[in-house]
Amino acid sequence: MVAEIDELTLARARRGDSPALSALVRHYQRPVYALVARLMVGRPGGALDDVAQDAFIRVCRGLPRFDPGGRARLSTWILTVATRTCLNALRDGRRAEAAIPPGPETPAAPDDPERAVADRQRRRQVETAMAALPEEMRAVLVLRAYHDFDYDEIAAALGLEVGTVKSRLGRARAALRDALGDEEGEREERR
């Protein structure tokens, strides 16, 4: 997780200060784009950029209504807005289907080309398995495994009951285990 932006910048951004809004976007762009890429897996890069941009537009417009003293951290609120933007885009069908985009590279040992090839193949398998999950299960899994949301935060972000979050998460993990084999599924389970 990224550290929260400082209070002064947040206060200025909430008032609509352009440099502060730019600083906020720069500060949170990496986790937002990572979330969008994972939820929109299988969509072309341009669609990812469009959804991430739509999410930040919504964040900037809604920022004056964000309560810094409330229960949600700013990062949680921003990722919630991004999640809902993704789910809306997926439901609307506005984004064209395309090949699965490459994931972030995990460097292998420089002298081990076989390991590098195996790592790339495994990443593709994970991306394919994630893309095959229903969007509701994928959203719960991404928020928990990659963005460290707790069950209550996931429930609030997706407008679900905590029990529904737990059951979708369990089904998503089981589906990944089936698709990837026990080793990768167990690794995902521990996240």
What range defines the domain where residue 119 resides? Answer: 111-191
- Based on the fold, state whether residues 136 and 72 are members of the same structural domain: no
Q: Are 116 and 183 found together in one domain? A: yes
Q: What is the CATH number of the domain that holds 189?
A: 1.10.10.10
* Cβ atoms 125, 145 nearer than 8 A: no
Neighbours of 106 (CB within 10 A): 10
> Does the residue 106 lie in any domain?
no
- Residues 143-170: pLDDT tens digits? 888 888 889 989 988 889 999 999 999 9
Assess whether 7 and 93 both reside in one domain. Answer: yes
> How many other CB atoms sit within 10 Å of the CB of residue 36?
27
- Total domains in the chain come to 2
- Cα 62 versus chain centre, distance: 19
Maximum separation of any 2 CA atoms in the chain, in Å: 53
For the stretch 1-55, pLDDT in tens is 678 999 999 999 999 999 999 999 999 999 999 999 988 887 777 788 899 999 9
Q: Are residues 6 and 93 in the same domain?
A: yes
Residues 91 and 184 in one domain: no
Q: pTM of the entire structure?
A: 0.67
From 99, 120, 135, the end of a domain falls on: 99
